Structure 1
Amino acid sequence: MFVKRMIQQKILDYLKKKGEATDKELLEMIEKEFSISYGDLLKILMYLEIEGYIEVKPMKDLLNVVQKTSSKRQAL
């Protein structure tokens, strides 16, 4: 559970700095520190979206653009 929280925070920090990213870009960034599958990343992104931290917009070619929302608190 602790690793999941660390990954969530890393995603939020990255999006705060960059503004938006694709799911593939987030996976590459996270894989540098953690062993995570694409499916697990999607579960984390879904949780963050349901909680209102991020917004995921579908794009062509199975890529998703992920943006940090401004309406939710800044950190977990």
Structure 2
Amino acid sequence: MSSSDSILCAPQNLPQEIVETVIDHCSDFRSTLLSCALVSKKWLPRSQYHLFREIRVFGYPQVVRSRLLYL
């Protein structure tokens, strides 16, 4: 593999649809998503989408917590 071939395979040169598909398949693995978020700027938003798709609020009664999540 020549140096020009490795440039073509760099993560920043992949089509965004492929990047999102790869990250979507890793959505159940937090440590993998954290690594994906560090690959490049193109990988960050989709990784964050999965990392922060659920927010938990502790210390409040169930009724208040459910209202906070739907604001």
Q: Which has the larger radius of gyration?
A: 2
Structure with the largest fraction of helix: 2
Higher relative contact order (CA 8 A, sep 6+): 1
The alignment's TM-score, normalised by the length of structure 1, stands at: 0.31
Using structure 2 for the length normalisation, give the TM-score.
0.32
